[in-house]
Chains A and B, each alone.
Chain A
Amino acid sequence: MKTIRLIIIFVIVIAIAGVVVWWQMSPEVSRVTMHKAEIKDVRAMAQLCTVDITEDVPVKGSVGPRHIFARQTVNGSISFDLDNLTMEEIGDSVIKVTLPPEIVEIYESTEPNSYVIIDQWTDDFFDSPNLTTAQENAIKSKVRDNFRKKIYAKGYVKRARAEAVENLTSMLSAMTGKRVTVTDPSPAGYPK
């Protein structure tokens, strides 16, 4: 009788251990399916980039009683289109170049944790604090517009244009073997 009891206990212990091992070794639960990345387009260009900006910005917004606060890492760059550069040859040895309007691009960074929700809440006790995707996108779009304004206000565009004049002069002089004069019609840039 005692032996049978020991065998039953042993079998139960083995069974429990087996279930635990099976649980531990089974793959994690995920309800998200990743689809293959697709190349949408590849386009050739000639753009001189003179300033790269990386900054963490607070994302704060409200829609009615719903609020969100998040941290976003933003990448900005200031470039100049060289394909549409106005170049005027003066005599055989001088080229006069006019600096074009700047291209300011702002994206969310691809570094890990570049968009982290810190808090979301509602003032209405019976309402859900959840923002829809469209509402959240609209808040992020405003943050980007404000960041663009900040880039101009902080003088990053001015600095980028001054450096573009210097860099273009040396690159074009080296390539063409001529004396190059780059003029900037709007040193503070073209804010939109």
Chain B
Amino acid sequence: MLAIAFFSGCNTGDSMQNTFYSEVKSVNKLVLAQMTISKMATIDDLSLSEAKGLKQSVAAIGDAMKIGNRKAAYSYDTYMRAFIDLTNLQPTDVTVDESSKTITLTLPAIQTEYVGRDAEIREDHYRVTGLRSEIDAEERAKIKEQMNTALKTEVEQNPVFRDKLSLQARGKANTYFSSLAARDGYNVIVKFKES
């Protein structure tokens, strides 16, 4: 299942940058909810009033002396999904109680993961004037990397993101499996295993 391709000839960067990786994995996931998270970052000169410490103060004075403006705003979306891994579903997880006409499903724990992010970046604002340098692809890529790190930290520190996604997934699992397993007047109880 695992194929490792390699290498492409490039003239700069370290050896890791030149390593091309490939993996194709068979999975059995039931995706129950997907979340779209938007992240924005802005680029602007440092102002002396907001500068903290010597380095920023020196940079702010330097920025004030430059001719023109350099302001921009970028954003993009990241996608997270909640799923249950059906490979963990055992035959004993479906029990039927004929006396009380009840079917109990014990589903694997809900997990969340990042599906990915938009390849494209949205340029919400761009104003570079005077003698200021343009914002190039390399700078945009670096900003996107910073935004990605900041977003992941926020998601880790704020449980609201995963909680909302898991809640939606639980609701969907309940309705989906109840409709699937319901038959001849049986009640369906959907439970989840602990992660």
Listed in ascending order, the chain A residues whose CB lies under 8 Å from chain B are: 19, 22-23, 25-29, 31-58, 68-75, 77, 79, 82-83, 105-110, 112-120, 128-131, 133-134, 136-137, 140-141, 143-144, 156, 159, 163, 167, 171-172, 174-177
Contact = CB atoms under 8 A, between A and B. Distances in A.
A167 B145 contact: no
B33 A43 contact: yes
Nearest to B122: A133
A163 B34 CA distance: 22
B140 A23 contact: no
Contacts of A72: 119
A37 B124 CA distance: 15
Max chain A Cβ within 10 angstroms of own Cβ: one of B44, B96, B140: B140
A167 B28 contact: yes
A43 B167 CA distance: 11
B46 A110 contact: no
Interface in B90-119: 91, 93-94, 96, 105, 114-119
A108 B119 contact: yes
Contacts of A108: 116-119
A53 B5 CA distance: 13
Nearest to B143: A32
A52 B46 contact: no
Contacts of B48: none
B29 A49 contact: yes
Max chain B Cβ within 10 angstroms of own Cβ: one of A42, A55, A69, A115: A42
Interface residues of B, number: 97
Contacts of B117: 107-110
A167 B31 CA distance: 14
Given A39-B164, A40-B38, A42-B33, A171 B55 contact: no
Contacts of B143: 32
Max chain A Cβ within 10 angstroms of own Cβ: one of B89, B91, B117: B117
B36 A41 contact: yes
Contacts of A115: 119, 141, 144-145
A44 B134 contact: no
Given A29-B55, A29-B59, A172-B180, 18 more contacts: A26-B54, A27-B55, A29-B46, A31-B43, A34-B41, A39-B160, A42-B164, A48-B31, A49-B31, A53-B25, A56-B19, A71-B17, A107-B79, A109-B116, A136-B140, A140-B120, A175-B105, A175-B181
A171 B151 CA distance: 35
Contacts of B88: none
Nearest to B30: A48
B19 A120 contact: no
A8 B86 CA distance: 77
Given A47-B30, A49-B29, A26 B55 contact: yes
A79 B144 CA distance: 28
A40 B77 contact: yes
A40 B56 contact: no
Given A26-B52, A115-B144, A50 B165 contact: no
Contacts of B176: 46, 82-83
A118 B172 contact: no
Contact of A37 (B33, B86, B137, B154): B154
Contacts of A55: 5, 20-23
Contact of A56 (B20, B35, B96): B20
Contacts of B86: 48, 167, 171
